[in-house]
């Protein structure tokens, strides 16, 4: 099947005709959602097709046919398939995308509309398992479609226009597709031949003019000696024993969080100066070692500034249960034994919990890079990629500023910062002041009167020193003491994006 699919993806004439047919039918995200209606679409997100099929009843237009065939994974009459995909049913069947049985056609491979505000794309992947209560179990080489993790990484990605990017573990090709919009040359790699074939078709269909080199191989092996301005990866990061079940989309075959360690420690060798490597990851919380220390250990000597955000922490049972359910083992005879063996391994390895989060490495070559490791289970405004890039710039500026430079800086308060005060109704002074950022990482920062006033006064006109000296007079404080007490906070305020240098 893989060779036949590769053959289809490499046939520009057939791919052009398929793109034309999908476009002509209006087979886009908006088209499909409009047709299914909100309840039908919401039901499909819950793996139920009945409301969607009811919404389409009697509609024989090409858009309805394609929606039945792919998102709803229902058989369609051959004559309707032929009308929606003129001259393409036979070649798609030969490629293993469709199957023809009598006078009905059904899908073997998914071709799903996907997009952002600027693009209507199609993504090719394996079918969604588990629709309408059917088994969720999939083969070891299953190729996932666009998942919540895929969109999280796409939104985390720094989107500055650059020359070269690497999509490590491309799967269905979704990251490469996003990269093709702002990167001159993309390399997409995977170890799964089915994924490579599907990514090739995704890219040929959706980004025909893009320069994307799809390569086979593990981790950085296919790109040894090359440099990239951006590396994006949503790797097979599940923390499990190396000898456990291996679903290639999530299990690396390496023990614990070793795959993430290898990706992070290998990044500096493939990053160009100023390049970013952004990784969706899981990491072990090992008894007796703070998780921050474990992750920071991977960054020592990297020459990269790094921002690590832990978004969630799961205890071993919660973690194992989530991934056993993902593998479709709920209700299977293996459930209990697999659960037990995995927990046993966690115990042996002294893994007390697993952290789920994001790493963004920025190759600056600084002798003492800035490493920010934080637990942030709270809200983040997506897409957060621009905030990551801005963090990198702010940290770079800060590193070049001595205490005197910082006092002389004319900082500007970020436009979205607001102040909340708490206290007894009617009282003259607040008991507590909290600053809030309404962009990027939606931070809340408790501050004292001086810090709140400083942030309020930073409009780019006055220097930090001028603002602090004026505040010392107003608040009846010693100016030198206020300067030295406040400067560390000013650095924090810049790093966290409250004040822009
Ligand atoms: C979670 S999927 C991510 C797919 C896609 N990039 C996305 O964001 O949705 C992980 C991908 O990594 C691939 N993979 C597994 N082991 C790998 C390895 N050692 N080197 C490169 N890719 C690997 C899998 O085949 C799979 O396509």
Ligand 1 binding site (Cβ under 6 Å of any ligand atom): 144, 147, 150, 153, 168-171, 174-175, 189-192, 195, 218-219, 234-236, 248-250, 252
Nearest atom in ligand 1 to 147's CA: 9
- The set of long-range contacts for 36-39, using a CB threshold of 8 Å and a minimum separation of 24, is 36/67, 36/71
In angstroms, rounded to a whole number, what is the distance separating the alpha carbons of residues 247 and 250? 6
Closest CA to 486 of 469, 462, 473: 469
Does the N-terminal peptide bond of residue 143 adopt cis geometry, omega within 30 degrees of 0?
no
Measured torsion, CA atoms of residues 397, 399, 403, 408, in degrees rounded to the nearest 10: -10
Report how far ligand 1's centroid is from the alpha carbon of 168 (Å).
7
Pairing of strands 271-286, 228-233: parallel
Cβ atoms of residues 433 and 445 within 8 Å: no
In terms of C-beta density within 10 A (0-12 exposed, 13-18 middle, 19 or more buried), how is residue 37 classed? Answer: middle
Which of 451, 136, 158 has the alpha carbon at shortest distance from 279? 158
* 236 CB-contact burial (10 Å; exposed 0-12 / middle 13-18 / buried 19+): buried
- What one-character-per-residue DSSP string does 60-112 give? -SHHHHHHHHTTT---EEHHHHHHHSTTTHHHHHHTTSEEEETTEEEESEEEE
Residue 362 has a CB neighbour count (10 Å cut-off) of 27
CA distances, 345 to each of 236, 243, 256, 262 (Å): 19, 11, 10, 21
In whole angstroms, what is the distance from residue 128 CA to residue 144 CA? 8
N residues, the chain? 501
Buried/exposed 363-398: b ≥16 CB within 10 Å, e otherwise:
bbeeeebbbebeebeeebeebbbebbbbbbebbbbb
CA distances from 452 to 407, 420, 435 (A): 17, 10, 7
pTM over cut 0.85? yes
Nearest atom (ligand 1) to Cα of 154? 8
Per-residue pLDDT of the chain (501 residues; tens, 9 = 90+): 799 999 999 999 999 999 999 999 999 999 999 999 999 999 999 999 999 999 999 999 999 999 999 999 999 999 999 999 999 999 999 999 999 999 999 999 999 999 988 899 999 999 999 999 999 999 999 999 999 999 999 999 999 999 999 999 999 999 999 999 999 999 999 999 999 999 999 999 999 999 999 999 999 999 999 999 999 999 999 999 988 778 999 999 999 999 999 999 999 999 999 999 999 999 999 999 999 999 999 999 999 999 999 999 999 999 999 999 999 999 999 999 999 999 999 999 999 999 999 999 999 988 889 999 999 999 999 999 999 999 999 999 999 899 999 999 999 999 999 999 999 988 878 899 999 999 999 999 999 999 999 999 999 999 999 999 999 999 999 999 999 999 999 999 999 999 999
What residues contact 246, with CB distance under 8 A and at least 6 apart? 140, 253
Q: If you compute the radius of gyration of the chain from its CA atoms, what whole number of angstroms results?
A: 26
- For the four alpha carbons of 291, 354, 311 and 228, in that order, the dihedral sign comes to positive
- Best probe residue, ligand 1, of 114, 173, 174, 236 (max atoms within 8 Å of C-beta): 236
User: Could you tell me if 338 and 245 are in contact, meaning their C-beta atoms sit under 8 angstroms apart?
Assistant: yes
Alpha carbon nearest to ligand 1 atom 13, residue: 169
Evaluate whether 129 touches 47 at the Cβ level (below 8 Å): no
- Residue 166 Cα, ligand 1 centroid: separation in angstroms? 12
With the C-alpha atoms ordered 411, 412, 413, 416, is the resulting torsion angle positive or negative? negative
- The Å distance, Cα 139 to ligand 1 centre, comes to 15
Three-class secondary structure of residue 19 per DSSP? helix
């Amino acid at each position: 099947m893989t060779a036949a699919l590769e053959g289809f993806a490499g046939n520009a004439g057939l791919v052009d005709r398929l793109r034309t047919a999908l476009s002509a039918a209006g087979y886009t995200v908006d088209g499909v959602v409009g047709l299914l209606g909100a309840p039908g679409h919401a039901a499909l997100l819950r793996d139920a097709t009945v409301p969607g099929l009811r919404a389409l009843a009697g509609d024989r237009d090409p858009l309805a046919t394609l929606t039945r065939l792919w998102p709803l994974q229902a058989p369609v009459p051959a004559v309707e398939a032929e009308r929606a995909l003129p001259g393409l049913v036979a070649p798609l069947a030969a490629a293993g995308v469709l199957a023809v049985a009598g006078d009905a056609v059904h899908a073997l491979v998914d071709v799903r509309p996907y997009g952002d505000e600027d693009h209507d794309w199609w993504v090719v992947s394996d079918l969604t398992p588990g629709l309408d209560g059917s088994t969720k179990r999939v083969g070891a080489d299953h190729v996932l479609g666009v998942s919540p993790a895929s969109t999280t990484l796409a939104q985390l990605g720094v989107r500055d226009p650059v020359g070269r990017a690497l999509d490590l573990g491309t799967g269905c090709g979704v990251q490469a597709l996003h990269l093709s919009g702002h990167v001159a040359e993309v390399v997409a790699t995977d170890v799964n031949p089915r994924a490579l074939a599907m990514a090739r078709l995704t890219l040929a269909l959706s980004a025909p003019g893009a320069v994307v080199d799809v390569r086979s191989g593990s981790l950085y092996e296919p790109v040894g000696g090359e440099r990239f301005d951006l590396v994006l990866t949503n790797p097979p990061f599940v923390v499990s024993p190396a000898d456990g079940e291996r679903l290639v989309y999530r299990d690396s075959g390496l023990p614990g969080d070793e795959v993430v360690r290898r990706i992070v420690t290998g990044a500096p060798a493939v990053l160009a100066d100023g390049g970013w490597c952004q990784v969706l990851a899981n990491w072990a919380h090992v008894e007796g070692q703070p998780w921050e220390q474990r992750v920071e250990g991977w960054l020592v000597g990297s020459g990269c500034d790094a921002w690590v955000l832990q978004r969630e922490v799961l205890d071993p049972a919660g973690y194992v249960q989530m991934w056993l359910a993902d593998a479709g083992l709920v209700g299977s005879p293996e459930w209990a034994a697999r659960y037990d063996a995995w927990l046993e391994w966690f115990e042996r390895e002294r893994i007390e919990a697993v952290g789920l989060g994001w790493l963004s490495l920025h190759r600056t070559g600084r002798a003492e890079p800035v490493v920010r490791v934080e637990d942030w289970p709270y809200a983040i405004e997506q897409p957060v990629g621009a905030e990551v890039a801005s963090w990198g710039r702010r940290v770079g500026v800060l590193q070049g500023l001595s205490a005197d430079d910082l006092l002389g800086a004319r900082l500007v308060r970020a436009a979205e910062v607001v102040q909340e005060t708490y206290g007894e109704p009617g009282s003259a002074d607040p008991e507590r002041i909290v600053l809030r950022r309404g962009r990027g990482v939606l931070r809340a920062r408790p501050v004292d009167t001086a810090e709140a006033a400083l942030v309020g006064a930073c409009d780019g006109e006055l220097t930090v020193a001028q603002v602090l000296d004026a505040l010392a007079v107003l608040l009846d404080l010693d100016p030198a003491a206020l300067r030295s007490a406040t400067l560390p906070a000013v650095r924090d305020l810049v790093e966290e994006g409250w004040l822009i240098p």
